[in-house]
A = this chain, B = another copy of it.
Amino acid sequence: MKCLQRLTTTHLLRRVLENQHKFIQLLQQQQVRSCSTGRLQEAIKPEDEDYPQLKTIDPSTSYYPTSKPFKHAPEVGDQFTHSQLAVRLAAPHQLHPKPDADDLVFGKHFTDHMLKIAYHRRLGGWQKPEIMPMENLVLHPAAKVFHYAVELFEGMKAYRGVDGRIRIFRPEMNMARMNASAQRSGLPTFEGDEFIKCMSRLVTIDQEWVPHTEAASLYLRPTLIGIEPTLGVASSDSALLYTILSPVGGYFTAGATSMGVSLLADPRYTRAWPGGVGDRKMGSNYAPTIQIQKEATAQGLQQVLWLYGEDHQVTEVGTMNFFMLMVNEQGERELITPPLNGLILPGITRDSILHLARDWKQFKVTERTITMFEVKKALYENRILEMFGAGTACVVSPIERIYYMGENLMIPTLDHDEPVWKQICTTLTDIQYGKIKHPWGVTID
């Protein structure tokens, strides 16, 4: 009897979970919120009500980059628009149960729907956008993506704010970078604003997959691949732009924001080089790093600190931009990150940190080259305060130790009471989760 009861409850719960995206309106009318994390929340507040404002940021500051309309090469042809979007919803039996927010591994679980937009030059250019149940891609084995890495991607996140609204963060920056990557890869460019609208619709459809917690978010992975089935090394006349969604917790398995990461800095390995594509988010930049990451792991270290050149310039850390807070030779506090010299991915978190820190005026903020010689000297003179990586997947990741040329350099990032990395992390997540009203946090509903 008890067994039967449990079965019925499980069955009922499963039905609720599977169908919850269709209940949204009903739930909103009832001022009740479905919840995949077990965290009970108050009724949704209407959008104009007050919600906690933890910090004040001068709204007059212009945070948007001057967004010039993107200039497409004439041969790209037709552009797609959000108004053409066709939606085919998953049937109830196609819906997947949502994982518990505490069990999320980065990029392992995916939502019920995806967005696809095909490009065929012979058909005039971009085709109509389609949202459909998550499905496998069916591609010719000669598709260029399998042979010549004709592929690029972006990483974005949708956050469920404390006001119940879902936000994405500076999406126009991702679109600008994605188009820059497309141009460099022989792939067609597209209207970023239209793509954002299509992705927003996708997130709205799968909105119950946006975790109901500030410890997690829904990761968006817009991807563009070349699918022309010919073996010449050349531009792809057919392409597929798609977006899949994955609920994610922290990027690193060990809670990296409470524990610092340890790094392998080996000058024998280089991530990017002048005249290459280190400043584009192309697949090509990642495969060559996997073996080095394995070597770091084998040495008991968590990530790779990428060096460049004979003077061992610090470029990036893992898949993140690098920041260092130090007392400079003039005795001033200075936050430094390597400049956008072609070797560095123009990170959106990086750009945001620079904006915030320059606004704060608490310390000097500089984009310049950092060498390991400088790091070692400053460390010896006790002038290094903090080091951290920054990126969409991890937000901010404090660095504790660098293994460099046979020596362990201990970085005192975690030894301070009110560290800058934490201040940055808090401000960024406050914007992302709607605790601070800010133009960077774009609501999608």
Contact = CB atoms under 8 A, between A and B. Distances in A.
Interface string A196-230: 00000000000000000000000101010100011
A282 B289 contact: no
A284 interface: yes
B136 A136 contact: no
A142 interface: yes
Given A146-B223, A283-B148, A106 B290 contact: no
Contact of A288 (B232, B235, B270, B277): B277
A148 B287 contact: yes
A362 to B, nearest CB: 34
A291 B183 contact: yes
Given A106-B232, A153-B147, A233-B319, A287 B282 contact: yes
Given A141-B114, A151-B149, A221-B147, A276 B287 contact: no
Contacts of A294: 186, 235
B286 A230 contact: no
B284 A142 contact: no
A264 to B, nearest CB: 13
Contact of A276 (B135, B139, B229, B270): B270
A3 interface: no
Contact of A275 (B110, B219, B269): B269
Contact of A110 (B107, B142, B293): B142
A140 interface: yes
Nearest to A244: B141
Contacts of A286: 147-150, 233
A138 B137 contact: yes
Given A146-B151, A232-B107, A287 B284 contact: yes
Contacts of A110: 142, 229
Given A145-B146, A151-B147, A233 B289 contact: yes
Interface string A384-420: 0000000000000000000000000000000000000
A237 B37 CA distance: 29
Contacts of A225: 146
Most chain B beta-carbon contacts within 10 A, residue among A105, A149, A235, A267: A149
Nearest to A243: B141
Given A141-B137, A148-B283, A293 B233 contact: yes
A234 interface: yes
Contacts of A276: 270, 273, 288
A247 to B, nearest CB: 12
B235 A231 contact: no
A235 B277 contact: no
Contacts of A282: 149, 287-288
Contacts of A146: 137, 145, 151, 223, 225, 283
Interface of A: 105-108, 110, 114, 134-142, 145-151, 153, 183-186, 219, 221, 223, 225, 229-235, 242, 244, 246, 267-270, 273-277, 282-291, 293-294, 319
20 contacts: A106-B232, A114-B141, A136-B138, A136-B141, A137-B138, A138-B138, A145-B145, A146-B223, A149-B282, A149-B283, A150-B286, A219-B231, A221-B231, A231-B246, A233-B286, A233-B290, A269-B275, A270-B275, A273-B273, A282-B287
